[in-house]
Chain A
Amino acid sequence: MQLNTLSVHHLSELMGKKEVSSEELTRFYLEHISRVEDKIKAFVTLTKEEALARARAVDERRARGEELSPLAGIPTAAGDNICTRGVKTTCASQILYNFIPPYDATVAGRLKGAGAILVGKCNMDEFAMGSSTENSGYFATSNPFDFDAVPGGSGGGAAAAVAAGEAAFALGTDAGGGIRQPAAFCGVIGFKPTYGYASRFGLISHVSSLGQIGVFTRDMTDLALILNEICGHDDKDATSASVDVPDFRKSLVNDVKGLRIGLPGEYFGTDVSPRVAAKVREAIVKLEELGAVCEEVAMPHIEYAPAAHYIISSAEASSNLARFDGIRHGLRVEAEDVLTMFKKTRGQGFGEEVKRRIMLGTFALSAGNYEAYYVKALKVRTLVKQDFDRAFEKFDCLLTPTSPATPFKIGEKAGDPVAMYLSKVYTMPANLAGVPAMSLPFGLVEGLPVGLQLMARHFDEGTLLRVGYTLEQSTDQTRLKPGLLL
């Protein structure tokens, strides 16, 4: 049995029927990791011993007849910017190479409480800045469908881990597409909940107002199970929403009849690759066959979203990253006085892309530029939000390609930071508006996955689950397997 292609709910069933123990499952995953990791390089830290100990503890609880969460005993992974108590959390940065948080991110703690087994921390673009995971402070990750291609970013490690069968699901973070774009590139589901729905406590954030913890999964049922665990108010996070969390399994409805789906023309323009656009049209046709009403909608301010996003995220990053100064944690480069120590520590600890954004953000916030850049970007953000509000007056959800193109080659855009940034041009608007958004695999183009993006109203994750589930039930294009799992 190929345990590492099964979804969480299948694995949970198998464990419930005692056909496999959590320890066996975890060993299977760990052995698979040791076989494929030299090709994929999805992890910056592996937690083999802790994982096996936890798996044995879950088996004992199951043997005692305790009622367990569907996530109990399931091997999982998390992006390395999500704090895990006692386990190194480095944001794939040299500046935090030795940082071991004394606390769990609330979301990581909830999964741990549900009995999920953390097998490791995933590689990413340093401090989640990037679109290819080439900007890691340690090494690049490969796309499981093509080892010469990037897995996307910033959460390329976590996406690749799920795609390559190294984890049954994974936590990631999405401030501009850091979950959805790598999910599209690696052929898995990537989901960013509504801003404030899942706690941000313990997320080493570079952009407070845009970033959200989310999840990579293999199917929609798994997604519902995990959202059930990670969503909900947290007293430790002041931005956490106080809204009730429904049982997301109830949204797994195989029916889209009468559902109004908007197709923003701005996402189907000249920058999208024709073969990706064709694949997305195929999905639209499928949804129409199933009874959905698909119509074009105008979102005129979307084109300014990347510029506004770049300013806002860089501005917030320049402030959020100021705490990495060598005083309390992480790297310290000794020097003759404190100012030189700050400079040397940050000079050596941060990579090129991080420095670029810190400088950009510092520039955008500095006296004389503040109004021209930062305040203007906030105004654009408001206009983008209004575009979404207007679209959702008429439509239940919006459908677009997740990325304009399929995964590019490692090194292909490394020298062109703007081109790299624009590979997330379609995912950024949802972060500016704070709406829930999902990338769903839909077939291959030249052997590489294509992602469909679906966006809905605030706190209406249910509609996304419903559309995703219906597509999943009606076509096999949503289940993609890379060669190394065939």
Chain B
Amino acid sequence: MSRYEAVIGLEVHVELKTDTKIFCGCSTEFGKEPNTQVCPVCLGLPGSTGVLNKKVVELATRAGLALNCEIGTYTWFDRKNYYYPDLPKGYQISQVFRPIAYNGYLDIDVDGEKKRINITRAHIEEDPGKLVHSGGSITSSRYSYVDYNRSGMPLIEIVSEPDIRSGAEAKAYLEKLKAHLEYAGVSDVKMEQGSLRCDANVSVRPVGTTTLGTKTEIKNMNSFRAVQRAIEYEVERQIDVLEDGGKVVQETRGWDENKGITVSMRNKENPDYRCFIEHELPPIELTEEWIEEVRASIPELPDARRRRLVEEHGLPDYDAGVITSSLALAEFFDAALKEFPDAKTVSNWIMGELLRLLNARNMELGESRITPGGLASLLQLIKKGTISNKIGKEVFEVMFEEGKDPEQIVKERGLSQISDQGQLAQIIDEVIAKNPKSVADYQSGKKQAIGFLVGQVMKATRGQANPGVVNSMLREKLGE
């Protein structure tokens, strides 16, 4: 056991799913030509004043409620003043003094242990623009371009308490957070499109002490796995520094995915943002009734859905946890279950084949061509014995890639299971003739030798032979 423990807090920026920006009517669509979705307001041109998009308040409230937060009935915006070329007004409009949501939590499971991660606050803010460096990185570029399409995109920043103790917990928390926000319908939560971004504050301290060590802030992590790896690396690095008698420097560090290390970005000398109230926007006033209406409109959240899968469908808790980790997966499960009402079988296929293929190809469920109905038909074919479980996996892969109906695939590729004894007899005779040693072994009492012979028959039929039928025919022929 290490003599040190890690203390980790996460700051997660999530882009809210609105059609227009937070203070103007510009489109929020992703991936458009630079600076084509801008206007005087989001460019901060002199004299332009913005007006708050009401949808942002609604989505932020939904998000806060989905994270078990209290919602403030009287909140306002503040300015955070700092200079950066992508920040058009020289200040960022945020909620510094009174966040719309606060005092929330999420429960996570790591290695079967449940733990509560507290959420300090979730506040609304605007995104600045984005720098595009002429030569790949900021240090190697002679000049940089600024794209203000992102300027004024509505965000919520979710700040956790420093309750996280490991990279694995951080990853579990992020997965839970993502699922809750996705279920609540507030964001696309796509890390690769920048609609979910995470920074980690990491420090270590000797086990048994309560004062916080010097922390570093890690940025540039592009996947949940990267967050876990970066934190694990950084914790080890800080422990090494302390073990060598050194001091951890408070700084911002970037995660280098290729090298698997964190690197110093710049020293952070406690910037003074000189925050003060934003007078150009009136305060946000919400009534308790309105907040309750929003609460009532939030669909079943992951934990409740997980309980339902266990209680109503008898799924093991672990399976239910995996299935409900994403809304898409949970809905896929429900839809497939309607047509093939065997929860454990459906869950096995989702957790086995479906997730294996998605992970292997680094895809989202929506990007594959498999449908819940398709999976249900496939499971019917297996149940009827038309194909074997093994062939089923092959068919599943074709369905995943091409989206075809399983029956059609089976027909086109001639994959139906062969149970006809007449068809199998000749092949079995050939296998017996070719493998006298195994036959002798079997007949001398090594009963497990039959497995090899069955395998040879399966091979000869490219897996189509019904293994049960082959087994009993072999036993008969070998004089059982």
Give the interface of A toward B (CB within 8 A): 81-83, 89, 91, 96, 99, 101-103, 105, 200-205, 208-209, 235-239, 315-316, 318-319, 321-325, 327-329, 338-339, 342, 362, 365-367, 370, 374
The residue that A201 contacts in the complex, of B47, B276, B281, with Cβ under 8 A, is B47
Q: Which residues of A sit under 8 angstroms from B279, Cβ to Cβ?
A: 208-209, 239, 316
Kindly report which residue of chain B lies nearest to residue A82, judged by CB atoms: B47
**Residue B49 lies at the interface, judged by CB distance under 8 Å to chain A:** yes
Ordered nearest first, which 9 A-B pairs have the shortest CB separation?
Answer: A322-B90, A209-B279, A365-B274, A204-B46, A208-B279, A202-B47, A83-B47, A204-B47, A238-B51
How many positions in chain B have a CB within 8 Å of any CB in the partner chain?
A: 28
Q: Which residues of B sit under 8 angstroms from A204, Cβ to Cβ?
A: 46-47
| Inter-chain contact B90/A323, CB cutoff 8 Å | yes
What are 26 A-B interface contacts by the 8 Å CB criterion? Answer: A89-B47, A103-B47, A103-B48, A200-B280, A202-B47, A205-B47, A208-B280, A236-B51, A237-B49, A237-B51, A238-B51, A238-B280, A238-B281, A238-B282, A319-B79, A319-B81, A321-B90, A322-B81, A322-B91, A323-B44, A324-B90, A325-B83, A328-B88, A338-B85, A365-B275, A367-B272
Q: Which residues of A sit under 8 angstroms from B276, Cβ to Cβ?
A: 315, 319, 365, 370, 374
Q: Which residues of B sit under 8 angstroms from A370, Cβ to Cβ?
A: 274, 276
In terms of DSSP, what is the predominant structure of the interface of chain B?
Answer: loop
| Inter-chain contact A366/B272, CB cutoff 8 Å | yes
| Inter-chain contact A319/B90, CB cutoff 8 Å | yes
**Residue B286 lies at the interface, judged by CB distance under 8 Å to chain A:** no
| Inter-chain contact B49/A236, CB cutoff 8 Å | yes
| Distance in angstroms between the alpha carbons of A324 and B282 in the assembled complex | 25
Kindly report which residue of chain B lies nearest to residue A83, judged by CB atoms: B47
Kindly report which residue of chain B lies nearest to residue A346, judged by CB atoms: B83
Q: Which residues of B sit under 8 angstroms from A82, Cβ to Cβ?
A: 47
| Inter-chain contact B46/A319, CB cutoff 8 Å | no
Give the interface of B toward A (CB within 8 A): 40, 43-52, 79, 81, 83, 85, 88-91, 146, 272, 274-276, 279-282
The residue that B83 contacts in the complex, of A238, A322, A329, with Cβ under 8 A, is A322
| Distance in angstroms between the alpha carbons of A83 and B83 in the assembled complex | 25
Q: Which residues of B sit under 8 angstroms from A319, Cβ to Cβ?
A: 79, 81, 90-91, 274, 276
| Distance in angstroms between the alpha carbons of A291 and B242 in the assembled complex | 85
| Inter-chain contact B49/A328, CB cutoff 8 Å | no
Q: Which residues of B sit under 8 angstroms from A338, Cβ to Cβ?
A: 85
Q: Give the most central of B47, B280, B282: most A CB within 10 Å.
A: B47
Kindly report which residue of chain A lies nearest to residue B146, judged by CB atoms: A327
Q: Give the most central of B44, B48, B52, B79: most A CB within 10 Å.
A: B48
| Distance in angstroms between the alpha carbons of A89 and B50 in the assembled complex | 20
| Inter-chain contact A323/B88, CB cutoff 8 Å | yes
| Distance in angstroms between the alpha carbons of A319 and B280 in the assembled complex | 12
Q: Give the most central of A82, A202, A324, A339: most B CB within 10 Å.
A: A202
| Distance in angstroms between the alpha carbons of A309 and B281 in the assembled complex | 20
Q: Which residues of B sit under 8 angstroms from A327, Cβ to Cβ?
A: 85, 88, 146
Shortest distance in angstroms between B21's beta carbon and chain A's nearest beta carbon? Answer: 14
Given contacts A101-B46, A201-B48, 15 further A-B contacts (CB under 8 A): A89-B46, A89-B47, A102-B45, A202-B47, A202-B48, A203-B47, A205-B47, A238-B282, A239-B280, A239-B282, A318-B274, A322-B81, A325-B85, A328-B45, A365-B81
| Distance in angstroms between the alpha carbons of A171 and B348 in the assembled complex | 74
The residue that A235 contacts in the complex, of B46, B51, B85, with Cβ under 8 A, is B51
Q: Which residues of A sit under 8 angstroms from B146, Cβ to Cβ?
A: 327
The residue that B49 contacts in the complex, of A201, A315, A322, A362, with Cβ under 8 A, is A201
| Distance in angstroms between the alpha carbons of A316 and B45 in the assembled complex | 17
| Inter-chain contact A329/B280, CB cutoff 8 Å | no
Q: Which residues of A sit under 8 angstroms from B280, Cβ to Cβ?
A: 200, 208, 238-239
Shortest distance in angstroms between B139's beta carbon and chain A's nearest beta carbon? Answer: 11
Q: Which residues of B sit under 8 angstroms from A318, Cβ to Cβ?
A: 81, 274
Q: Which residues of A sit under 8 angstroms from B49, Cβ to Cβ?
A: 200-201, 236-239
Q: Give the most central of A102, A105, A365: most B CB within 10 Å.
A: A365
| Distance in angstroms between the alpha carbons of A92 and B47 in the assembled complex | 15
| Inter-chain contact B89/A342, CB cutoff 8 Å | no
Q: Which residues of B sit under 8 angstroms from A200, Cβ to Cβ?
A: 49, 280
Shortest distance in angstroms between A9's beta carbon and chain B's nearest beta carbon? Answer: 30
Shortest distance in angstroms between A81's beta carbon and chain B's nearest beta carbon? Answer: 8
Shortest distance in angstroms between A169's beta carbon and chain B's nearest beta carbon? Answer: 21
| Distance in angstroms between the alpha carbons of A370 and B81 in the assembled complex | 14
